[in-house]
Amino acid sequence: MFASIVSGMALGAVYALVAVGYNLTWLTGKAINFAQAGFAVAGMFLAVWCYGQGLSPVAVFAILVAAGGLVATVEYVVALRPLRGRGEHAELITTLGFSTIIQGVILLFVSDDALRVPFFGPEQLIDVPGGRIAPVELVLVAVAVVVGLGAHLWATRTRSGLAALAQSEDRDAALVLGIRPERISFVVFVVSGVLGSVMAPLAGPKTFAAVALVSLLAIKGFVVLALGGVGSLLGALVGGLAIGVVEAVVVRLTDAAFQNIAVFGIFIVTLLVRPRGLFGERKERYV
Amino acid sequence: MNAVRRSPVLLPVMWLAVTLVVLAAPYAGLLDESWTHQLILVALLALIVSGLNISFGHAGELSFASAAMYGAGAYVSGYLAMEVLNDFALALVVSAVVGLLLGLLTGVPGLRLGGWMLAVASFFLVLLVPDVVQIFSEQTGGNQGMSGIPLPELFGFELGDTGLYVVTVLVTSAWFALFRNLVVSRLGRSLTVLRESPVLASSLGISVFGLKLKAYALSGLPAAMAGTIFAYLNGFNAPGSFGIELTMAVLTASILGGSRSVYGVFLGAAVMQLGPMRTTAFGDYALIAYGVLLVIVGVLIPGGIVGLVRRRRRTAQPATTAAGQAEATARLTMPGRRLEVSGVSKDFGGVRALTGAGFVAGPGEVVALIGPNGSGKTTLLNLISGFYRVDAGTVRLDGVTVSGRPAAAVARAGVRRTFQTPLIPGMSVREVVASGRFSLDRAGIVATVLRLPRYRRALRRDRAAADEMLAAAGLSGVAAHRADALPLGTRRVVELARALAGEPAVLLLDEAASGLDEKEVAALAALVRAVRDGGGTVVLVEHDFGLVRSLADRVVVLSQGQVVTEGTPAEIAVHPEVLQHYLGAPGGVEARA
Amino acid sequence: MTGNLLEIDDLTCGYGDLMVVREAGLRVAPASVTAVLGRNGAGKTTILRAVAGLLGVRTGTIRIDGQDVTGAPAHLRRSLGLGYVQENKRVFKRRTVEENLMLGLHGLGLRRREERERADEAYARFPVLAERRRRPAGLLSGGQQQMLAISQALAIRPRLLLLDEPSAGLAPSIVHEVLNVVRELRDRQGLGVLLVEQAVDTALGLADEVTVLDVGRVVHTGRVGEPGLRGVIEAAYLAQGGVTR
């Protein structure tokens, strides 16, 4: 059982990282990038290709950072900036479109099957009570915790984080204090995109690279948002890990086909029972 | 085209004619087998898109569940045909019910939260189709697919390819007739109101919850029926047919044809199915094409894709509209009821907005609420109309307590209002005014789409009431104009006329004169006076003291959340305390000599 | 030029098609308070927003300390020494008092020690804030929020301050405290203030010059203490008929 839980947490770590990406752009620009998962999956395929060319892990990371940054910039300019001030759901369609484009591009180069992504670290399985786990799984969880905590600390303890949150809370008030909301939204957006692509060499060995993963990962990231609370970075970390564990336990106890259904169940129950999520804030509502 | 649309006889005749022509085409040798096959596919896509349009285009909620409902219809029909009874009609009806239920199911979470979560939940549902199919693999054939669906039979007769074509055309024609009747109806216009402003919908007595549920349920119906046809068409169901690619195609088709258009659905479906976008031709590039289209349309259409379902931009209107108002014929009988507000208090997270506020307004009276900024006037109005809940105190109409009820219920009880910024959807002036009656003479969905006498009666009454109010307000000249394109003063009067059309017991006006020039204020005042003379109860929140003097029978003065004093306008004007409160807090900084 | 901290000429601006302010002009001299009076909807807040750079103008010019800033972004105007206290005690309610003050110092590039000094200045002015440093601003009372809002704007030691209805919804004693701070800064440090107020007496108690707006237009400009000023003001508030005394 212990092995299943660790394994589940590793998968949950991937979800958490996607959700952290969502939350970062949400906190700083009230926008959610549906293509976040697309960055990760595209990164996986790119990583496989890079390994195939004999490039070192460091080079691979560098390429991923550059590619992620570039594509995120393009996405921001094309699919987000023109929508300034258009209302809440506008970027849903355009980032969904962008995600679809990413999927299409991947399909151009690769077939429909899932691809194995080698891990640049030790691949020797470790014996633990209940089974065996791969080192990459431990690294994934550790990275998710670091990134989640780090993002949270940035948002709550640093000046730049403070300015970013403030301008999201009240744009005009921020403007008169010399804060530049445009710049902040852009930078954080690109950083989120890079976060997405950079997690690929870690997530890939766990999930396998497959085009179908883009939509699935994107959606599960949303479930994490709902469970953890939109806007809570810690919520994204906790929620993601929790969902991963639930998935693993469900698969172990029943059948693989119930994996996604269980997550869907969590989603619906959360929305109905505690819409603001575990760490989210209550909204003042009209009667 | 307009003439065709408006005539009650011409449209059904043309509809029938087109249906017959399309039906007869293969028998006349005009269409061969491959063409009938293609046309069936176009019809199927059109059916699914029409469902999407109901929830997305009209109600304004984006749900991706169509592909899942399509799949549900297909699998259920296939199962029925193979294991229970092979009858097309049976499969169609069962699928329709399944679609209805699934539509409700996916809508319920969407009701509680914003559009994002509904879109996500429905997207997820589509992703789950392979898993659900796998779990029920005994019945569905699992990932291998469901094979061996027999040729369709209808009441014992086997339907060949042409037979299936005929049935498809009939189903599509019938559904679209109902769909068209839904869109062009009170219900359709209620959806427009809902889409543009749920607050407005509530203020007209429309239950947002109920209306959304109706929209969700209806959107599942056609998709599931299309699934029935699809299953029989192929004789085989593969889980992959009901996935993201189809979802994207449906969304794209909807947008191409115009998400609120009835006939545009066919255009979009035809383009997607027959044109260069079809998957088989595009092959590997299909997804990229869909994605690019989504981004482009999302960005370039003013207001994004959501803007397609929003009002269009205002265009300047000729000044003649203002002149028309001066000729308002003010003859109104509008029996009002007694409004009693007592001891009302309201707290907003630690800030006391109102403390023990109260006043009375009776039929044939205009009561004005005045006071400086922050005195709680608008809060009081919002409390009376049910948009906020009182922390203490009551609001009563002829002795019946309405405080504590949700806004739509309060509106149905007879409290109608206007807003500081007029909430005017993108409809003609006449339609806007008529929408004030939507909670009266309610006709159900069935009566609406079948145009039963009950619906026709409600429509007649709507029209009569609208005409009466338009005449009273002097708006008859602009009745056919787009209401949201008119100048502010006219829009305020339109809002007022709409509120009056709803046969209000009490009329609440929220700073209706602000931003208007003298002429417009006069027109507004004339209408209010007509209401008062006709026996109505009017409460107005106003800053313009001159207007208050000329219009109000009584004035209630609020300051810092409490009622300071009451009296006639003449009394209030010379009341020393009022001046102090109105012009500024006494004491504090010393006045200069 | 004349050395005014603020010069507005022929300003027409508004929202969408609706021009709320028409051809307005006014001045704020150093070490002086100009009050903009008028009833609700007269365009007072709109003028402030235009000066701060939150609203585009259709025609007219805005000059801060002699420099033409019409069309310039808000952060640029701030760097010229402009502070803006918006109406409704607008602070970042989810951030603590301390964080709000730090936000007031955004982009100044001060060292830790200097930042501390400025924060302490604010706490010295309003001790009640010091006691609540770590509280989210949303939990403060209205008066405390207003004190915080003003401190936030004063953090950069502005030369020109825009004040929007500082007395709204506040008890007179708090208004007194808050405006005394402003008065002191004017007298001691030459601060120029553009004050928007609905509460006429409060405004007249502090202002040196008065500009009266009605339906977006300037109907009167004068010095406080002029005879008949009061009558003009009341007329603009109560419109036709006025008030008989």
Identify the CATH number of the domain in which residue B49 sits: 1.10.3470
How high is the pLDDT of residue C130?
92
B515 in contact with chain C, both atoms CB, cutoff 8 A: yes
Using CB atoms, pick whichever of A165, A170, A175 lies closest to residue C74.
Answer: A175
β-strands C59-64, C6-15: how paired? antiparallel
Q: Measured between alpha carbons, how far is C137 from C149 in angstroms, rounded to an integer? A: 10
Across B14-36, average pLDDT: 85
Residue pair A91/A32 in contact by the 8 Å Cβ criterion: yes
B279 vs C92, more confident: C92
Q: CATH number of the domain at B527, please.
A: 3.40.50.300
Query: How far is C224 from chain B, CA to nearest CA, in Å?
Result: 8
| Cβ partners under 8 Å of residue B34, min gap 6 | none
Please check the confidence at residue B587 and state whether its pLDDT lies above 60: no
Reported confidence tier of residue B1, pLDDT bands at 50, 70, 90: very low
**B423 in helix, strand or coil?**
coil
Give pLDDT, residue B325: 46
Beta strands in B94-208 (DSSP E): 146-147, 153-154, 157-158
By CA distance, what is A177's nearest residue in C? C104
State the number of CA atoms in the 13 A half-sphere of B304 facing the CB. 22
Of B349, B545, B583, the CB nearest to C201: B583
Is C54–A165 a contact, with Cβ atoms under 8 angstroms apart? no
Q: Are residues B397 and B347 in the same domain?
A: yes
Average pLDDT over chain A, rounded to an integer = 90
Q: Per the domain annotation, does B7 fall within a domain?
A: no
Give A169 to chain C, closest Cα distance, Å: 7
Which pLDDT score is estimated for A110? 82
Would you say residue B330 lies in a domain? no
Burial class (CB in 10 A: 0-12, 13-18, 19+), C237: buried
More confident residue, B181 or B588: B181
pLDDT class for B277, splitting at 50, 70, 90? low
Give residue for tokens 């007496």: C201
Which residues partner with C19 through β-bridges?
A: C14
- Inter-chain contact A107–B284, Cβ cutoff 8 Å? yes
Are B584 and C179 a contacting pair at CB < 8 A?
A: no
CA distances (Å), origin A11, targets A16, A233, B537: 9, 18, 64
Strand order across the B392-397 sheet? B351-361, B339-348, B392-397, B400-401
Is residue A88 pLDDT above 70, yes or no? Answer: no
- Is the distance from CB of B286 to CB of B207 less than 8 angstroms? no
Residue B387: give the domain boundaries: 339-592
Asked whether residue B82 falls in the same domain as residue B209, the answer is: yes
The partner residue sitting opposite A100, judged by closest CB among B62, B109, B291, is: B291
Structure-token pair, residue A136: 């990459």
Cross-chain Cβ contact B121/A268 below 8 Å: yes
The class (CATH top level) of A2-273 is mainly alpha
Work out the average pLDDT over C108-128: 91
Answer whether residue B115 shows pLDDT above 90: no
CB neighbours of residue A279 within 10 Å: 18
pLDDT band for C240, please (50, 70, 90 cuts). very low
**Do B49 and B168 belong to one domain?**
yes
Would you say residue B582 has pLDDT above 70?
A: no
B529 plus B383 within the same structural domain: yes
pLDDT bucket at B117, cuts 50 / 70 / 90: confident
Choose from A15, A34, A81, A93 for mutation: most chain B CBs within 10 A. Answer: A93
Q: Calculate the CA B144 to chain-centre distance.
A: 43
| Residue C223 C-alpha, separation from nearest chain A C-alpha, in angstroms | 29
Instruction: Burial-class residue B400 by CB neighbours within 10 Å (0-12, 13-18, 19+).
Output: exposed
- Percent of chain A whose predicted confidence (pLDDT) is above 70: 96
A 25-64 residues with CB < 8 A to B = 32
**Residues B256, B252: Cα–Cα separation, whole Å:** 6
Query: E strands of A22-104, at which residues?
Result: none
* Residue A257 touches chain B, beta carbons under 8 Å: yes
The fraction of chain A above a pLDDT of 90, given in percent, is: 61
Closest approach of C116 to chain B, Cα-based (Å): 31
Residues of chain B numbered 508-547 and touching chain A (CB < 8 Å): none
Residues B50 and B120 in one domain: yes
Measure the N-to-C terminal CA separation of chain B; round to a whole number of Å. 75
pLDDT at residue B513 in the model: 83
The encoded tokens of residue B362 equal 């009776």
* pLDDT tens digits, C31-45: 999 999 887 667 888
pLDDT confidence of residue C138: 86
Q: Report the amino acid identity of residue B93.
A: V
Cβ contacts (< 8 Å) between A165 and chain C: which residues? Answer: 94-95
Among the ranges given (B477-481, C153-157, C188-192), the one the predictor scored with the smallest mean pLDDT: B477-481
Indicate the residue of C39, C138, C204 with minimum beta-carbon distance to B543: C39
C-beta atoms of B284 and A223 within 8 A:
no
A-chain CB neighbours of C94 within 8 Å are: 165, 169
Say whether both B458 and B352 belong to one domain: yes
What is the average per-residue pLDDT within A233-239?
A: 95
Residue A181 has pLDDT above 80, yes or no: yes
Contacts of C142 in chain B (CB under 8 A): 351
- Residue B314 reports pLDDT greater than 70: no
Q: How many CB atoms are located within 10 Å of the residue B154 CB?
A: 18
- pLDDT for A285 equals 38
> Model confidence over A157-170: pLDDT tens digits?
999 999 999 998 89
More confident residue, C52 or B444: C52
CA distance A95 to A86: 14
Tokens read off for B262: 């009835």
Q: Which of A157, A162, A176, A281 to mutate to test the interface with C (most CBs of C within 10 A)?
A: A176
pLDDT value at residue B144? 85
Beta carbons of B294 and A215 less than 8 Å apart? no
In contact, C211 and C35? CB cutoff 8 Å: yes
What's the confidence (pLDDT) of residue B5?
53
Going by pLDDT thresholds of 50, 70 and 90, the confidence category of residue B301 is: low
Please indicate if any CB of chain A lies within 8 Å of the CB of B446: no
CB B543 to CB C139 under 8 A? no
Least confident of B30-34, B99-103, B156-160, B508-512: B30-34
Residue C1 has pLDDT above 60, yes or no: no
Residue from the list C54, C83, C102 with its beta carbon closest to the beta carbon of A175: C54
Query: Which residue is listed with tokens 């919804």?
Result: C169
Looking at residue B585, what is its pLDDT?
A: 40
CB contact A219 to B (< 8 Å) = yes
* Cβ contact A179–C86 (<8 Å): no
Contact status of B142 with chain A (Cβ, < 8 Å): no
Q: Which of B101, B118, B77, B54 lies closest to B250 in space, CA to CA?
A: B54
Q: How far is B211 from B198, CA to CA, in rounded Å?
A: 10
Nearest 5°: the CA angle B24, B30, B32 is 100
Residue B8: CB atoms within 10 A of its CB come to: 8
Q: Report the share of chain B in percent with pLDDT over 70.
A: 88
pLDDT surpasses 50 at B329: yes
- The side-by-side arrangement of strands in the sheet containing C67-68 is C18-28, C6-15, C59-64, C67-68
Residue B593 binned pLDDT confidence (cut-offs 50, 70, 90): very low
Instruction: Kindly list the distances between the CA atom of residue C234 and the CA atoms of B374, B436, C172, C231, in Å, as whole numbers in the listed order.
Output: 20, 40, 21, 5
Interface of B with C in 112-171 (CB under 8 A): none
In a domain, B35, yes or no: yes
Q: Tokens 């199927």 identify what position?
A: B44
More confident of the two residues B334 and B13: B13
pLDDT digits (tens, 9 = 90+) for B457-479: 999 999 999 999 998 888 888 89
Let me know: does C163 contact C86? Beta carbons within 8 Å: no
d(CA C84, CA A93): 37
Asked whether residue B37 falls in the same domain as residue B143, the answer is yes
* More reliable by pLDDT, C41 or C149: C149
Quote the minimal CA–CA distance from B296 to chain A in Å: 8
Question: Using 50, 70 and 90 to split pLDDT, how confident is the model at B279?
Answer: low
pLDDT of residue B494: 93
Q: What is the pLDDT of residue B34?
A: 83
pLDDT attached to residue B113: 61
How many CB atoms within 10 Å of residue A127? 9
B349 contacts on C by Cβ (under 8 Å):
138
Nearest-neighbour CA in chain A from C11: distance (Å): 20
Q: Retrieve residue B477's tokens.
A: 């000249």
Q: Is the dihedral of CA B383, B389, B391, B393 positive or negative?
A: positive
Counting as contact any 3 or more CB pairs under 8 A, the partners of C are: A, B
pLDDT of C242 > 50? The answer is no
Query: In 10 A of CB B39, how many CB atoms?
Result: 21
Residues B294, A94: C-beta atoms closer than 8 Å: yes
Spatial contact of A196 and A202, defined as CB atoms under 8 Å apart: no
Asked whether the beta carbons of B433 and B498 are under 8 A apart, the reply is yes
pLDDT (0 to 100) of residue B589: 27
The structural domain count of chain B equals 2
Q: Count CB-CB contacts under 10 A for residue C1.
A: 8
Kindly state the tokens that stand for B287: 């997804």
A159 and C78 in contact by Cβ < 8 A? no
To which residue do tokens 């970027």 refer?
A: A91
When mean pLDDT is compared across B61-70, B504-513, C164-173, the lowest value belongs to C164-173
Binary contact (A271, B123; C-beta < 8 A) = no
pLDDT band at B13 (very low <50, low <70, confident <90, very high): confident
Cβ–Cβ contact B292 with A under 8 A: yes
Q: Which residues on chain B are in Cβ contact (under 8 Å) with A78?
A: 295, 299
Q: What is the pLDDT averaged over residues A53-78?
A: 94
Residue B252 exposure: Cα atoms within 13 Å on the Cβ side: 28
**Given a cut of 80, is residue C225 above it in pLDDT?**
yes
